[in-house]
Amino acid sequence: MRILGQVFVAIDILISWLAGIALWGMTLVLFVNSLARYFAGFSFVGGGELAQYLMVWLAFLGSYLLVRVQRHITVDLFAVALPLRARKLLDLIVGIVGAVLLGYIAWLGAQLTLRIFNTGQVMSSLPILRGYLYLAVPVGCGLMSLAYIFQVFVLLLGGQLPRQEDYGLTSEIPDVELENAHDRSGA
């Protein structure tokens, strides 16, 4: 299980880098396109479309990372009121349902992606196969499904799930307004 955990950490690092590159690429494309449109009176063909496709990839890759640290969209009002044993059972059920559902979506997405690749469709303004956009669904959902499967095994074996603090993230959001107001008052 330890080796599998290390494999997932390596995948996490790779996906974090890819998501960061997608974000930087999207920002750069939109920034350069805006400057060209404002100062030179033209925009690059396909810039907006490329940014949209990078956003799709960023959403699916980021969703995987959120699943890994249990920060995906949840309603935990009910869960925090449960005793520890019941909360672990709920985490187990959520992991199983998430793995099955996302695995099914990944399978459907893979079928659609193969169909799109086989048709040879290209983007409307760039000479890139449209299948690369659709590939984000099976890759992202497949990774999320694997993350849930890993969580289920960790819970069944009594291990500890990775938390956001393990990745240098914090759950607390500093109250910047109060800190700034305090600094301005001179107190």
Task: Evaluate whether residue 19 is within a structural domain.
Answer: yes
Task: Evaluate whether residue 39 is within a structural domain.
Answer: yes
Task: Evaluate whether residue 23 is within a structural domain.
Answer: yes
Cα dihedral value 171, 174, 175, 177, nearest 10: -140
For residues 26 and 103, the answer to whether their CB atoms sit within 8 Å is: no
Interatomic CA distance for residues 48 and 71, integer angstroms: 30
Interatomic CA distance for residues 187 and 184, integer angstroms: 8
For residue 29, give the H/E element and its range: helix 2-35
Q: Is the pLDDT of residue 184 over 70?
A: no
Quick: pLDDT tens for 126-162.
899 999 999 999 999 999 999 999 999 998 988 777 7
Q: Residue 82 is part of which domain span?
A: 2-167
Quick: pLDDT tens for 39-70.
888 888 888 899 999 999 999 999 999 998 88
Task: Evaluate whether residue 75 is within a structural domain.
Answer: yes
Burial class (CB in 10 A: 0-12, 13-18, 19+), 141: buried
pTM above 0.85, yes or no: no
pLDDT at position 20 is 94
For residues 134 and 109, the answer to whether their CB atoms sit within 8 Å is: yes
The two tokens of residue 7 are 């494999």
The two tokens of residue 124 are 């409307």
Q: Which residues pair with 97 in a beta bridge?
A: none
The structural domain count of the chain equals: 1
Task: Evaluate whether residue 106 is within a structural domain.
Answer: yes
Task: Evaluate whether residue 177 is within a structural domain.
Answer: no
For residues 117 and 129, the answer to whether their CB atoms sit within 8 Å is: yes
The whole-number average pLDDT for the span 82-99 is 91
Task: Evaluate whether residue 176 is within a structural domain.
Answer: no
Using the structure block, give the residue that is written with the tokens 């349902």.
97
